[in-house]
């Protein structure tokens, strides 16, 4: 199930499933409002995005109320997560998945939004989007991320790279599968438990923020995946940004120990970096390590 693309005049809803919008974020938020409005869109904030009910954010029910409202409101054509944080998973049991199914629309974010996006895709079949948060549209030093938003959500482009993006082959091969993943530690949290995601025949894309996850923590996450059979199920891995002294792909290969036959590729155009590619979760893709751009979408992600 894919959402409709955006057109000028559409309303874009802002939710805060992770951290709230606080005073120190207002300058970036206002800059993002200006940017969005200059492109002909209207911004609508959820009523709970500024709340700090618990002292560390809004309650899970308040966050979910905004998510459910934005999906139910037929005037809202796309939804952006306001910013990152740590606990979008708190909303899972309060989400109205039936309403989401009946009102498919774009929802976009990265980092902590990984949890929310993957669960919505799993529970409803809706393609969701790992890309810039609303704040990050102007708080990072590049126009790349906003260009990606326009290219994917307005123009309907399917390419997963710009001309100057570089790809590297870590392990040769070709494979096909639906895209799944995002931030490594948050994807790992969805390996097991009541709210888990299905890794079978998927292409796993992963990135990590180094100051929250050093090499040992990255290893911890990857071994938890290995011990829960994730690497026995997937069709390939796409490694994104990680700025640690020890590269993420090296830690990954140390974890795999040469026991797996799927291809592995690397690029620095998604994750906690200036260059934020919009990656559709739940869309079928193909890895081919012989090509310059080593991954491509095999189907549209908006209509």
pLDDT per position as a tens digit, 8-49:
999 999 999 999 999 999 999 999 999 999 999 999 999 999
Using CA atoms, how far residue 264 sits from 100, 120, 128, 168, 260, in Å, is 33, 26, 23, 9, 10
pLDDT at 262 over 90: yes
Confidence category of residue 167, pLDDT binned at 50, 70, 90: very high
What's the pTM value of the predicted model, to 2 decimals?
0.97
Distance CA 175, CA 54 (A): 45
pLDDT per position as a tens digit, 265-300:
999 999 999 999 999 999 999 999 999 999 999 999
Report pLDDT for 216.
97
pLDDT per position as a tens digit, 98-142:
999 999 999 999 999 999 999 999 999 999 999 999 999 999 878
Architecture of domain 11-153: 3-Layer(aba) Sandwich (3.40)
167-297 — its CATH code? 3.50.30.60
Report pLDDT for 110.
97
Matching residue, tokens 């969701």: 128
Average pLDDT over residues 60-75: 98
Instruction: Delimit the domains of the chain by residue range.
Output: 11-153, 167-297
Average pLDDT over residues 71-90: 97
17: nearest Cα among 80, 72, 81: 81
Q: Which residues, including other chains, have CB under 8 Å from residue 191's CB and lie 6 or more apart?
A: 197, 199, 224, 225, 228, 230
In DSSP notation, 97-134 reads HHHHHHS--EEEE-TTHHHHHHHHHHHH---EEE---T
pLDDT at 241 over 90: yes
pLDDT per position as a tens digit, 197-238:
999 999 999 999 998 999 999 999 999 999 999 999 999 999
pLDDT at 259 over 90: no
240: nearest Cα among 282, 213, 272: 272
Which ranges constitute the DSSP H helices of the chain? Answer: 26-38, 60-72, 97-102, 113-124, 136-139, 144-153, 184-188, 215-227, 230-233, 248-256
């Amino acid at each position: 199930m894919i959402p409709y693309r955006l057109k000028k005049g559409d309303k874009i809803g802002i939710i805060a499933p992770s951290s709230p919008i606080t005073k120190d974020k207002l300058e970036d938020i206002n800059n993002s409002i200006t940017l969005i409005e200059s492109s002909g869109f209207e911004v609508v904030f959820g009523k709970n995005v500024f709340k700090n009910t618990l002292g560390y954010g809004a309650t899970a029910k308040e966050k979910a109320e905004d998510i459910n409202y934005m999906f139910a409101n037929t005037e809202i054509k796309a939804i952006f997560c306001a910013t990152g944080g740590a606990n979008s998973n708190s909303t899972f049991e309060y989400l109205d998945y039936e309403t989401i199914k009946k009102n498919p629309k774009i929802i976009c974010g990265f980092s902590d939004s990984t949890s929310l996006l993957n669960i919505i895709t799993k529970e409803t079949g809706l393609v969701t989007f790992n890309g810039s948060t609303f704040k990050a549209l102007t708080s990072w030093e590049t126009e790349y991320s906003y260009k990606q938003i326009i290219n994917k959500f307005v123009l309907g482009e399917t390419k997963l790279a710009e001309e100057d993006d570089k790809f590297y082959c870590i392990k040769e091969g070709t494979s096909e599968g639906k895209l799944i993943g995002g931030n490594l530690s948050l994807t790992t949290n969805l390996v097991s438990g009541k709210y888990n995601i299905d890794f079978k025949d998927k292409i796993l894309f992963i990135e990590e923020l180094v100051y929250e996850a050093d090499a040992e923590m990255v290893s911890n996450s990857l071994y938890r995946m290995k011990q829960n059979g994730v690497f026995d199920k997937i069709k390939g891995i796409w490694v994104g940004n990680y700025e640690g002294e020890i590269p993420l792909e090296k830690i990954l290969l140390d974890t795999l120990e040469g026991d797996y036959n799927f291809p592995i590729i690397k690029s620095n155009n998604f994750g906690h970096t200036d260059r934020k590619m919009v990656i559709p979760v739940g869309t079928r893709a193909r890895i081919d390590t012989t090509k310059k751009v080593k991954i491509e979408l095999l189907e549209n992600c908006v209509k």
